[in-house]
Structure 1
Amino acid sequence: MTHPAIATGHVSVITGGASGIGLAAARKFQALGLNVAIADWSEEALGRARTALGPEALVVKADVSNRADVEALLDAVIDRFGTPHIVMNNAGIGNGGPALGELASWQRVIGTNLYGVVNGVQVFGPAMIAGGAPGLIINTGSKQGITTPPGDTAYNVSKAGVKVLTEALQHELRNIEGGRVEAKLLIPGFVWTGLTTGERAVKPDGAWTPEQTIDFMLASIEKGDFYILCPDNEVQRPTDEKRILWAAGDIAENRPPLSRWHTDYGDAFQAFLKG
């Protein structure tokens, strides 16, 4: 059985919907008979998305870090289709920098990746709850928000915040008497999108396509999963599970932070991974 929010004639909204995972979701929802609204900030990407999705889709330019833009998006969706049944807070950017990096870069990444999701949750959530129909709020997180590898610390912090927010949101939603809206946390693997392309022109063998990620997401929702932990062609779920457990073990076992990348613990981590 599919989730009752995913039904012909229902309304879906995807931020960051003009490319990558967001566009793949929009196309899949269209194929399933849903009305689709996408939001993005790039005029060029929005133009390509209009062509891909056709005139039946609502295409809106919006900066999700701006609360007024998200409120205007909700108004536009209601005017065109009615109250949404699915909201996918998917817009995301990277390259925020390390802990001692530039504040402006941090603000840019946190604004889009975390406050963009907060805005989506707080603007769309009450309308969906009040509508009384089955609903899904799907927030796009990242494995980097769980295992927090060294490098783009700003990105890791933003995605760790999305994880905590979505967990608390689902707790709140399930305690609403008669509530029919659920939250899900999408945790993609290595996906071939604008965030991962870099200077490469050809998809690496290890990467999944956005379409594979959305197919996995829908299958996981059908199973009732909250944590939609996606594999890819390089890393399967057992490896992800051990990486996550090791990261939590840094606290429980009083190891140094990020011990997975600490020279004194490299052998121990590899043994744990193989064990």
Structure 2
Amino acid sequence: MAPPTSVFRAGATALITGSASGVGLAVAKLCASHSMNVILVDNNSSKLDEAKSTLSSSSKGSVDIHSMDVASLSDWSDLKSSVEKSGKKLDFLHLNAGVGLNGSWTDNAYFHKIFDVNLFGVINGINTFFPHFDNNSGEQKAIIVTGSKQGITNPPGNPAYNASKSAVKTIAEHLSFDLTKSSPSTSVHLLVPGWTFTGMTGGGKTASKPDGAWAPEQVADYLYQKMGEGKFYAICPDNDVDWETDRKRMTWTMGDVVYERLPQSRWRDEYKEEATKTMDAMNHGAKQAD
């Protein structure tokens, strides 16, 4: 069976949401570097024009743009009609668009906006283009869903965002399981960036990338690496947090359930000493295993 990275091939068609900048644009550049036809989707028309100009100057494949709201199912229907009228069928779908708002427990609009974009933006994309990927036993296809470490470790501070990304993780896991059975030549991958210098995570507030952050292109390269290894989870480190640290944080979070601790215990004063000792011990064990 061909590796998932064989989807990156000349003439294949890639559609990427949230692709006018940041990680989405970096993945679009990765696709374009393999001479794929690229469809850029975003709600920022001016940035889309810039992105198209950037890709068109170096890509051997076609570059099309669509300005739309991923929370709108009717917009997705229009997009599907446009894609299929042009005679194309998707080989690569990256559901990447997201928002990171803040709000309070009484702010209903905050919860709706985040879930409408972060979760239903993914669900709408799957609902719309699922027929392009199901029952596929021919050339390799792939669906990428962008998650977040906050949807796994669930730190305090932004419940709607964390919950939306936790739901996205669950959806992607189910999609992978089901398509493994019905569509053996379609792979699914959950891309989880670390600290990345983008407009959503601080790129608009400072002119230069902080030392601890990765560039979006590094995230795209890591996705390609993990796809080449046949991995579902592409959980990116960054220059401040390595993979071992991520593993310890995720393991501790699951321990809240297994050991019946209070939720979000890593940030509670009464568990700080235990958390520190446990993570130090895990780190020591990992070094011995090496």
Corresponding pairs, count: 273
Aligned to 1:143: 149
Deviates more, 1:148-157 or 1:128-137: 128-137
Q: CA deviation at 1:126?
A: 1.6
Q: CA deviation at 1:253?
A: 0.5
AA aligned opposite 1:183: V
- Distance in 1 of aligned mates of 2:106 and 2:157: 10
AA aligned opposite 1:71: S
Aligned to 1:196: 201
Pairs within 5 Å for 1:1-275 = 3-54=5-56, 56-80=62-86, 82-98=88-104, 100-129=105-134, 133-176=139-182, 179-197=184-202, 199-275=205-281
- Distance in 1 of aligned mates of 2:206 and 2:6: 40
Aligned to 2:286: none
Say whether the 8 Å CA contact 1:64–1:91 is kept in structure 2: yes
- CA distance change for structure 1 residues 14 and 161 in 2, over 3 Å: closer, same or farther? same
- Distance in 2 of aligned mates of 1:101 and 1:133: 49
AA aligned opposite 2:180: R
Deviations 1:124-149 (A, max 9, x none): 12222256542111000000000011
- CA distance change for structure 1 residues 81 and 8 in 2, over 3 Å: closer, same or farther? farther
Q: CA deviation at 1:3?
A: 2.3
Say whether the 8 Å CA contact 2:4–2:187 is kept in structure 1: no
User: After the TM superposition, which parts of structure 1 deviate over 3 Å for at least 4 consecutive aligned residues?
Assistant: 130-133
- Distance in 2 of aligned mates of 1:130 and 1:76: 23
- Distance in 2 of aligned mates of 1:101 and 1:61: 31
Secondary structure of the 1:4 match is helix
Q: CA deviation at 1:54?
A: 2.2
Q: CA deviation at 1:50?
A: 2.2
Give the alignment's Cα RMSD to 1 decimal: 1.6
Deviations 1:196-233 (A, max 9, x none): 11633321100000000000000100000001111000
- Distance in 1 of aligned mates of 2:52 and 2:35: 17
- CA distance change for structure 1 residues 101 and 244 in 2, over 3 Å: closer, same or farther? farther
AA aligned opposite 2:165: K
Deviations 1:142-200 (A, max 9, x none): 00000011111111011001000000011111121x54212110011000011111633
Q: CA deviation at 1:272?
A: 1.9
- Distance in 2 of aligned mates of 1:170 and 1:2: 13
User: Percent identity, aligned pairs only?
Assistant: 37
Secondary structure of the 1:129 match is coil
- Distance in 2 of aligned mates of 1:48 and 1:193: 16
TM-score, length basis structure 1? 0.94
AA aligned opposite 2:189: K
